[in-house]
Amino acid sequence: MKALDEFESRLGGWVIRWRGPVIAASLVLAVAATWGTLFLEFSADHRVYFSKNNPELLAYETMEDTYGKSDNVFFTIVPEDRDATSARALEATAWLTGQSWQIPFASRVDSITNYQHTTALGDDILVRELVDETSIGDADERSRIRATALGEPRLAGRLLALDGGVSGINVNLQMPGEDQMREGAHVTEYARGLMDRFRERFPGIDVRLTGLVTFNQTFMEVSVGDLKTLVPASFAAMTLMLVLLTRGFLGTFAIMVVVTLSVMTAVGLGGWVGLPMSSPAAIAPIVVLTVAIANCVHIFSTLVHCLQGAASRTAADRGGGPLIPRTRTGNPGHDAIIESIRVNLQPVFLSGLTTAFGFLSLNLSEVPPFRQLGTFVAFGVGAAFVYSVTLLPALLSLLPIRARESRLGHDTLMAMLGEFVVRRRRALLWGAGLVVAGLVASIPRNELNDVFLHYFDERVEFRRAADFTIENLTGLYTMEYSLQSAGPGAISDPAYLADVDAFAEWYKEQSETVHVSAITDIFRQLNMSMNGDDPAEYRLPANRELAAQYLLLYEMSLPYGLDLNNEIDVDKSATRMRVAMQTLSSNEIIALDRRAKHWLGENAPNIVRPESSGTTLMFAHLGRRNIIAMLVGTTLALVGISFALIFALRSWRLGLTSLVPNLIPGALGFGIWGLTVGEVGVSLSMVTAMTLGIVVDDSVHFLSRYQRARREIGYRSPDAVRVAFRTVGRALLTTSLVLVAGFIVVSLSSFELNAGMGKLTALVIALALVADFLLLPPLLMWFDAGIDTDRTLPSFRRRRRRRDAPPPITTLRRPGQD
């Protein structure tokens, strides 16, 4: 380890000597990396949240291959008088229905006005639109339209509210998929423009926009919005906090330069390697910002301590807290920089390494955007370490940084806290144990509960439109079932139709169901129409040949774009049934689907290989799969961090002891979350792995100072704890406050996945600071009780320690050093 000690001692001097080239090289590296931002692409497809081999995604794509894509936009028409069948409302609906065909990639438009209604015409059937625009002024005709629509199972509760107050228009889209972001943006922009024209043409009638394409586009817009608002807000908040906490503009300037370059490098490297930018990944710059600031604050804080030591050689006699530089160059500022790098190089590297471990473990997540977030941050952590030990000291050597005597007051408070912890260590250990036990017992109160429509808060227009549509028209949570018959053409088999009809009726009886659309509704209507519109004949055809003839006659009568290809497969061997539901949690959705499949297995022998799919079911399963994946990721991160700490600290005992205060904050955070919120979504399942690397930062710096006091000065454990509090306590407080502030800014995101993660992460980091101040020192003193020397790894040489150490002061001078 002599070579490492030599490197630590010389790096600062080398950087100061070659500061010009170092600054130039750093800028060149940052510019080269930032060039990669030109290759960044935003993703506007909900499929990016699923791995390519995700079972639910594969089932979803199979469903699309069979029946066509489910991409759509949905207009909700809201008359001021809440009468969707008034003359004015029907005129508006008919106009918007016709205009919707002009939406890019539109393949089908459904509304109450163009619904293909069948009536008897002698021995034949007449298929025509439900609404004749030339006769909507007739009150009797409007009454017929209203009665027919509310009595039609395929309209009532889907395209017309059960009370007749609101109606809907569904536009199916067949987008090529060559450039999903541009295609979705084009569709959404056109649809919004159509809404504006509608409002101008029909004042007094409002319109809301939802649908899968709008949902996807909202993901992208929220990502861009976070980049435009949260990142600048984070920079402003961090700068203000640094000025207040460091009481210096020059130091803050140097730190923010390093932080800015770290963020630019992280995002640029992500572009170079082809990482897409999505809503979760959009917070990567904020995370890098906070982590980079933590590194810089430790180096700058130590620099200030050293300047204080150089300014007052009698500080130790006053009980103050300066570090006294070991190197004498004739320039106190340069001496302080060299000493700061020597003292901080190892802990800064170690904290960066553990943070990278934590975020790289996100690559085991089932959600690709979170993998990309982890990689972005890992790039930023690496860049932050390089810049903080090279560029930062180079910049500081050019600035007239001076120590302020008033800073000693902060160290006095830390000294008082250290003294309190030393004297009350047993009470703190017992008290911490009780608190930990109580909060850990609350963890089971958390329930996995994702509501994907609530990924956006109520500030987002899509969320408001979705909530209104769900409350007033129909459910936007849908599940789709592909119901396979015995073979080609077998969907006309009465036994198969009876099973499908029974399944649809079973679903209608479930309390979660809002609307069910099945092919049997069409067969019932056709059978009634072919029997003179006799209501008694509203039932399924009696034999297969008759059902097949009815279906063929109906399909030949349908206009272009309104066929049944979205409900029946090509060889007529399977049909699709759609179920619209209330807004449910992921557990409720999975449970409902399991009940449905169990019913099919027990009661529908003529339906073979039923398959369920849909975006609702995909997102419901995602959280459960991600938790299992992140248990593995967290375990691997824990193992990697453990070995890194043991190796760097050269002590099995210290390395393993440090894990206790690093694991407990995550458990406490989820315990408090269970008491206050009780719901854990897909993003919160990764907080433990993510924060594990971050919270290690404080304990690494505390342990580094503690260990240096033990090894270099020979202090006993309580005295070494006092030294650690006085030398690094304020820096730990500063970095933790900065980290908490950074993630509080993340919690302001309108994207709930990011907001929830920001809240819980900020809570865990705050708890980690408490654990490092009140739990880690008592643990160290307990483990070190009666031990004169650390039990180091066999491959490392033990250092001799003085047993006659003087009363604790916060210098890190070796015994006998001037």
Is residue 36 very low, low, confident or very high in pLDDT (cuts 50, 70, 90)? very high
Model confidence at 231, in pLDDT bands (50, 70, 90)? Answer: confident
Whole-prediction pTM value? 0.79
Token representation of residue 311 = 């300014």
Question: pLDDT, tens digit, for every residue of 294-325?
Answer: 888 888 888 877 776 655 544 343 333 444 45
Mean pLDDT of the chain: 84
* Contact status, residue 168 vs residue 149, Cβ threshold 8 Å: no
Helix (H) or strand (E) holding 152: none
pLDDT single digits (tens) 258-277: 999 999 999 999 999 988 88
Of 588-602, 717-731, 741-755, which has the strongest mean pLDDT? 588-602
Residue that wins the pLDDT comparison between 663 and 712: 663
For residue 311, the model assigns a pLDDT of: 55
- Host H or E run for residue 452: none
CA distance 240 to 714: 40
Per mean pLDDT, which range of 64-73, 478-487, 741-750 is the poorest?
741-750
pLDDT given for residue 325 in this prediction? 52
What pLDDT score was predicted for residue 737?
A: 87
pLDDT band at 148 (very low <50, low <70, confident <90, very high): very high
- CA–CA distance, 505 with 603 (Å, rounded to integer): 12
Please give the pLDDT value at position 653.
Answer: 76
**Distant-in-sequence, close-in-space partners of 214: CB < 8 Å, separation ≥ 6:** 73, 74, 188, 191, 462
Q: Report residue 792's pLDDT band, with 50, 70 and 90 as the boundaries.
A: very low
Only one residue has tokens 């008919």, namely: 94
Residue 91's pLDDT is 96
Q: Select from 389, 246, 390 the least CA-distant residue to 304.
A: 246
Q: Would you report the helix, strand and coil content of the chain in percent, each value rounded to 5?
A: 65, 10, 25
Report long-range pairs for 141-149 (Cβ below 8 Å, ≥24 apart).
142/85, 142/86, 142/87, 142/90, 145/85, 145/90, 145/112, 146/85, 148/117, 149/85, 149/112, 149/115
Give tens-digit pLDDT for 799-817.
Answer: 334 433 433 333 344 333 3
The predicted model gives 395-401 an average pLDDT of 84
Return the higher-pLDDT residue of 456 and 405. Answer: 456
How far CA 784 is from CA of 310, 680, 701, 703, 718, in Å, comes to 33, 39, 18, 13, 9
- DSSP state, residue 611: E
Radius of gyration of the chain (CA): 34
pLDDT at 807: 39
Q: Roughly how many angstroms between the first and final C-alpha of the chain, as a whole number? A: 24
Cβ–Cβ < 8 Å for 380, 290: no
Q: Is the pLDDT of residue 577 over 90?
A: yes
The 3-state DSSP class for residue 700 equals: helix
The percentage of the chain sitting over the pLDDT mark of 90, rounded to a whole number, equals 40
Distance (Å, whole) CA 645 – CA 655:
5
**At 404, is the pLDDT very low, low, confident or very high (cuts 50, 70, 90)?**
low
Arithmetic mean of pLDDT, 720-725: 89
CA dist 401 and 607 (Å) reads 79
The per-residue pLDDT for 787 is: 53
